[in-house]
């Protein structure tokens, strides 16, 4: 019994830690897709954020400045994506592919110059994003250890859960959210009613980059302590998958990200016992996603104008 | 009315000029980064050029290009049908693994039997990977981008799993499969390579790539099937109204696209790799295929040239560290090229606006 509770605690801990970066990036993806811009550049924006976050935290010694700068680095690439897709009518998939090459390319080059290596120097413990409520629980008891595992987690996790609520409120309970969703469904109607679609989309894609950057920074500032070229390998795409899974809603994305996080957590716990091949265990989240899609989710409603460039004719 | 074309008209009409301009911009931005880092632009670009123009370098470029060309053809084929095959990565991986398994297990078969058999296995597996996704889409309406991303990872872990199975796994300490049989290898004879002074991995793959290019060109431009697929790509509803089954088209398109990606995987293995390692992250040939298809405008011949260009950059880029420039510069250059290709859409928009403005004047 004790073992089970301990394992459960570790799985939940890992679920939260692994789901957090996905959730930041997923919320970012929501902003972009709901406003009508496909953003497959999330991966590149995360890489930019992951690198910038660690480097700034390393040089300033302050994790929060690093974290925010990680977001800003993502926002720079988000703005670039917005410039291409919203202002210049570029194909959104092509532009996103470009971002996915430029992001890692540029930051790894900078890493080479700064550290003479593609990896950054590992962060000190106090340069990482701090854990909240650590030491609050009595870890000598089973229950205390469980609570410590689950609740004494990184501050970034608490922030992202608050963000999910905030984004949900913004999307569905405010005038801004209504306009944002309308931009993704019928931009021409929006424009006719006096909403500036181009401004809205530019803003949303930039926010999308900012959140993806925060997600990237989360990876290198919580799960690991340094940026390496393989820090961000596919998390951006998984976040996009989680958003499609969640039908382009922040609360749906939460569910999708927790599912992927949980599977990663399971992997961490089961990985110790080599009874089943590690590779087969790693496959679980992706197989489960496909099965869940077939059984429960089915067709997801893509915002009608998603992927279509909108340019004024005058 | 003036009939003379303005410079803007010429620039805005030619996709070829857009791409050349984009490539120039890529190298200019790359030069900018080199200058910021305090490195000599001449040294770096000189090294890039000299490493791909020697006989040995040039053969290396061709060898490097083969999987990129065929993966690019795969993605280009899917683009024509209006499907974005972001799953080429997974199809490449399963194709490569299928060819490896056949090349190891049936290694005693003679060369003329084994090589086609490896290709077949790779194309069937790659095609299957594409068809599964198409089936999920047509049967249950599951978003293909989402399921392709999932199947990329399933392919990746499946490949790693198979590489660890006894009999397939390398007997030594290497985290990889055994080498494929000599009979499955497409390398030129060793004596010839030595005497000609070309790349040690020089192989017949480029001929397969040319055949694949001709196949794609033929199917897209000269067959009813190609016409149907393109019709679906241009306008799904119109195609459906015209009596073309959209679902059947998507299934066919992804089957062919997947088979091509799988073939690319086999070519990479049988030409260069010789075995498959257990990787910690995706290798990205399929993603490179997307880039190659974009630079080549999804046109079969264009993709072939773009694949050579990409291969040259990848090979030349690997030599950049000899002059102290980071290899990653190549990704920045290619990324910039793709970015400028993306924004060249604005020319078309400007042209449309002009036509509209002219039409209005006509009405007045």
Which residue from A84, A94, A104 is facing B294, i.e. has the nearest CB? A94
pLDDT of B280 reads 74
Lowest mean pLDDT among B35-49, B124-138, B203-217, B300-314: B35-49
Using a pLDDT cut of 70, give the percent of chain A over it.
95
The model's confidence at residue A143, banded by pLDDT at 50, 70 and 90, is confident
Q: How far is B190 from chain A (nearest CA, A)?
A: 36
Compare all CA atoms of chain B with the CA of A276 and give the residue at the minimum distance.
Answer: B161
pLDDT of A123 reads 85
Q: What is the mean pLDDT of residues A7-32?
A: 92
Show contacts of B232-237: CB within 8 Å, 24+ apart: B232/B81, B232/B82, B233/B79, B233/B80, B233/B81, B233/B82, B233/B83, B234/B82, B236/B82
pLDDT of B258 reads 96
Specify whether the CB–CB gap between B148 and B286 falls below 8 A.
no
At B289-335, the pLDDT tens digits run 999 998 898 899 999 999 999 999 999 988 888 888 888 899 999 99
pLDDT at A210 over 70: yes
Task: Determine the Cα–Cα distance for residues A211 and B293; give it in Å rounded to an integer.
Answer: 30
Query: Do residue A98 and residue B282 have CB atoms under 8 angstroms apart?
Result: no
Task: Determine the Cα–Cα distance for residues A286 and A279; give it in Å rounded to an integer.
Answer: 12
Structure tokens at B314: 């990848």
pLDDT of B270 reads 92
Query: Do residue A244 and residue B346 have CB atoms under 8 angstroms apart?
Result: no
Compare all CA atoms of chain A with the CA of B331 and give the residue at the minimum distance.
Answer: A105
pLDDT of B4 reads 65
pLDDT of A66 reads 94
At A94-120, the pLDDT tens digits run 899 899 999 999 999 899 888 888 888
Q: How far is A152 from chain B (nearest CA, A)?
A: 30
Using a pLDDT cut of 90, give the percent of chain A over it.
46
B149 vs B265, higher pLDDT: B265
Closest-CA residue to B213 (of B130, B298, B131, B270): B298
Residues in chain A within 8 Å Cβ distance of B329 = 105, 109
Residues in chain A within 8 Å Cβ distance of B353 = 313-314
List alpha helices for chain B, DSSP H: 7-13, 15-36, 41-53, 55-80, 88-105, 111-140, 144-163, 190-196, 205-222, 224-234, 236-241, 246-268, 285-295, 300-318, 329-343, 345-363
Q: How far is B138 from chain A (nearest CA, A)?
A: 10
Task: Determine the Cα–Cα distance for residues B167 and B164; give it in Å rounded to an integer.
Answer: 9
Lowest mean pLDDT among A51-60, A149-158, A177-186: A149-158
DSSP readout, A58-125?
A: HHHS-HHHHHHHHHHHHHHHHHHHHIIIIIS---HHHHHHHHHHHHHHHHHHHHHHHHSSSSPPPPPG
B92 vs B353, higher pLDDT: B92
Q: How far is B112 from chain A (nearest CA, A)?
A: 34
Q: How far is B161 from chain A (nearest CA, A)?
A: 5
Specify whether the CB–CB gap between A253 and A29 falls below 8 A.
yes
A224 vs A23, higher pLDDT: A23
The model's confidence at residue A298, banded by pLDDT at 50, 70 and 90, is low
User: What is the CB-side half-sphere exposure of residue B239 using CA atoms within 13 A?
Assistant: 21
Count Cβ atoms below 10 Å from residue A198 Cβ, excluding itself: 16
The model's confidence at residue B1, banded by pLDDT at 50, 70 and 90, is very low
Compare all CA atoms of chain A with the CA of B333 and give the residue at the minimum distance.
Answer: A102
The model's confidence at residue A169, banded by pLDDT at 50, 70 and 90, is very high
At B5-37, the pLDDT tens digits run 677 677 767 788 888 899 999 999 999 999 988
Q: What is the mean pLDDT of residues A256-263?
A: 89
Query: Do residue A91 and residue B334 have CB atoms under 8 angstroms apart?
Result: no
Q: What is the mean pLDDT of residues B232-254?
A: 89
Radius of gyration of chain A (CA): 20
Which residue from B280, B294, B329 is facing A97, i.e. has the nearest CB? B294
CATH topology of domain A2-297: ABC transporter involved in vitamin B12 uptake, BtuC (1.10.3470)
At A59-84, the pLDDT tens digits run 998 999 999 999 999 999 999 999 99
Query: Do residue A108 and residue B143 have CB atoms under 8 angstroms apart?
Result: no
Query: Do residue A94 and residue B281 have CB atoms under 8 angstroms apart?
Result: no
Which residue from B145, B329, B343 is facing A90, i.e. has the nearest CB? B343
Specify whether the CB–CB gap between B117 and B125 falls below 8 A.
no
Lowest mean pLDDT among B14-23, B35-44, B340-349: B340-349
At B136-175, the pLDDT tens digits run 988 888 888 888 988 999 999 999 999 888 888 888 777 8
pTM: 0.88
Burial of B188: CB neighbours in 10 Å, binned 0-12, 13-18, 19+: middle
Lowest mean pLDDT among A213-222, B44-53, B69-78: B44-53
Average pLDDT taken over every residue of chain B: 88
Task: Determine the Cα–Cα distance for residues A32 and A45; give it in Å rounded to an integer.
Answer: 13
3-state helix, strand, coil in chain A (%, to 5): 75, 0, 25
List chain B domain ranges.
67-292
Residues in chain B within 8 Å Cβ distance of A291 = none
List chain A domain ranges.
2-297
Largest CA distance in chain B: 82
pLDDT of A147 reads 82
Residue linked to tokens 């469980």: A146
Burial of B324: CB neighbours in 10 Å, binned 0-12, 13-18, 19+: middle
Which residue from B154, B291, B348 is facing A287, i.e. has the nearest CB? B154
Query: Do residue A101 and residue B291 have CB atoms under 8 angstroms apart?
Result: yes
Query: Do residue B356 and residue A89 have CB atoms under 8 angstroms apart?
Result: no
Q: How far is A37 from chain B (nearest CA, A)?
A: 14
DSSP readout, B194-210?
A: HHHT--TT-BTHHHHHH
Average pLDDT taken over every residue of chain A: 87
Give A300's contacts (C-beta < 8 A, 6+ positions apart): A244, A245, A247, A248, B143
Which of B150, B247, B296, B333 has the most A C-beta neighbours within 10 Å, making it the best mutation to test the interface with A?
A: B150
Residues in chain B within 8 Å Cβ distance of A245 = 146
Task: Determine the Cα–Cα distance for residues B126 and B143; give it in Å rounded to an integer.
Answer: 19
Specify whether the CB–CB gap between A144 and A5 falls below 8 A.
no
- Give the single-character DSSP code of B178: P
- Give the single-character DSSP code of B320: G
pLDDT at A273 over 80: no
Q: How far is A144 from chain B (nearest CA, A)?
A: 36
Query: Do residue B37 and residue A237 have CB atoms under 8 angstroms apart?
Result: no
DSSP readout, chain A?
A: -HHHHHHHHHHHHHHHHHHHHHHHHHHHHHHHHHTT---TTHHHHHHHHHHHHHHHHHHHS-HHHHHHHHHHHHHHHHHHHHIIIIIS---HHHHHHHHHHHHHHHHHHHHHHHHSSSSPPPPPGGGSPPBTTTTSS-TTSHHHHHHHHHHS-BHHHHHHHHHHHHHHHHHHHSHHHHHHHHHHH-HHHHHHTT--HHHHHHHHHHHHHHHHHHHHHHIIIII-SS--TTSSSSHHHHHHHHHHHTTT-HHHHHHHHHHHHHHHHHHHHHHHSTTS-HHHHHHHHHHHHHHHIIIII-S----TTTT-------
Query: Do residue B343 and residue A302 have CB atoms under 8 angstroms apart?
Result: no
pLDDT of B141 reads 83
Query: Do residue B335 and residue A108 have CB atoms under 8 angstroms apart?
Result: no
Residues in chain B within 8 Å Cβ distance of A313 = 352-353, 356
Structure tokens at B170: 């390398």
């Amino acid at each position: 019994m004790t073992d089970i509770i301990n394992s459960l605690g570790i799985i939940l801990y890992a679920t939260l830690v692994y789901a957090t970066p996905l959730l930041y990036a997923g919320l970012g993806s929501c902003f972009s897709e709901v406003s009508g811009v496909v953003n497959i550049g999330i991966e590149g924006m995360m890489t930019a954020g992951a690198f910038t976050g660690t480097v700034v935290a390393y040089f300033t010694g302050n994790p929060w400045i690093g974290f925010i700068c990680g977001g800003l680095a993502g926002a720079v690439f988000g703005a670039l994506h917005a410039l291409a897709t919203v202002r210049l009518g570029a194909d959104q998939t092509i532009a996103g592919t470009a971002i996915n090459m430029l992001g890692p390319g540029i930051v790894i080059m900078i890493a080479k110059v700064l550290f003479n290596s593609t990896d950054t120097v590992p962060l000190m413990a106090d340069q990482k994003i701090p854990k909240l409520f650590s030491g609050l629980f009595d870890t000598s008891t089973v229950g205390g250890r469980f609570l410590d595992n689950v609740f004494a987690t990184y501050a970034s996790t608490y922030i992202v859960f608050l963000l999910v609520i905030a984004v949900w409120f913004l999307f569905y309970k405010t005038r801004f959210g209504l306009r944002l969703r309308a931009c993704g469904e019928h931009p021409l109607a929006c424009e006719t009613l006096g909403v500036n679609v181009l401004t809205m989309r530019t803003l949303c894609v930039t926010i999308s980059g900012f959140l993806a950057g925060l997600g990237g920074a989360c990876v290198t500032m919580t799960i690991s302590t340094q940026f390496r070229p393989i820090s961000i390998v596919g998390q951006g795409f998984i976040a996009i998958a989680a958003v499609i899974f969640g039908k382009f809603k922040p609360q749906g994305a939460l569910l999708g990200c927790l599912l992927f996080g949980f599977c990663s957590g399971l992997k961490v716990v089961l990985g110790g016992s080599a009874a089943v091949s590690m590779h087969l265990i790693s496959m679980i989240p992706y197989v489960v996603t496909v099965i869940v899609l077939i059984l429960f989710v089915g067709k997801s409603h893509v915002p009608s104008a998603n992927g279509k460039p909108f340019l004024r004719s005058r | 009315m003036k009939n003379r074309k303005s410079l803007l008209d010429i620039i805005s009409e030619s996709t070829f000029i857009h791409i050349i301009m984009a490539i120039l911009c890529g190298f200019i931005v790359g030069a900018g980064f080199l200058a910021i880092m305090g490195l000599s632009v001449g040294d770096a670009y000189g090294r890039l050029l000299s490493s791909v123009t020697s006989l040995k370098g040039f053969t290396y470029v061709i060898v490097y290009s083969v999987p990129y060309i065929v993966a690019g053809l795969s993605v280009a084929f899917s683009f024509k049908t209006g499907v974005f095959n972001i799953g080429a990565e997974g199809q490449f991986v399963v194709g490569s693994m299928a060819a490896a398994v056949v090349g190891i297990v049936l290694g005693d078969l003679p060369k003329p039997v084994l090589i086609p058999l490896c290709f077949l296995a790779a194309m069937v597996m790659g095609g299957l990977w594409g068809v599964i996704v198409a089936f999920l889409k047509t049967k249950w309406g599951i978003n293909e981008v989402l399921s392709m991303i999932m199947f990329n990872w399933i392919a990746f872990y499946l490949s790693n799993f198979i590489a660890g199975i006894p009999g397939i796994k390398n007997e030594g300490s290497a985290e990889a499969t055994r080498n494929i049989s000599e009979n499955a290898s497409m390398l030129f004879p060793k004596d010839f390579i030595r005497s000609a002074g070309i790349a040690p991995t020089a192989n017949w793959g480029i001929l397969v790539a040319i055949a694949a290019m001709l196949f794609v060109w033929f199917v897209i431009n000269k067959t009813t099937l190609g016409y149907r697929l393109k019709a679906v790509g241009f306008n799904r509803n119109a195609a459906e109204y015209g009596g073309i089954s959209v679902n059947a088209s998507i299934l066919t398109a992804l089957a062919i696209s997947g088979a091509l990606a799988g073939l690319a995987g086999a070519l990479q293995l049988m030409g260069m790799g010789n075995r498959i390692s257990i990787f910690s992250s995706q290798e990205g040939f399929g993603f490179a295929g997307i880039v190659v298809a974009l630079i080549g405008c999804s046109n079969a011949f264009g993709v072939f040239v773009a694949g050579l260009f990409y291969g040259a950059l990848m090979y030349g880029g690997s030599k950049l560290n000899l002059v102290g420039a980071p290899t990653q510069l190549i990704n920045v250059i290619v990324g910039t090229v793709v970015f400028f290709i993306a924004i060249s859409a604005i020319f078309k928009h400007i042209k449309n606006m002009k036509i509209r403005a002219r039409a209005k004047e006509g009405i007045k």
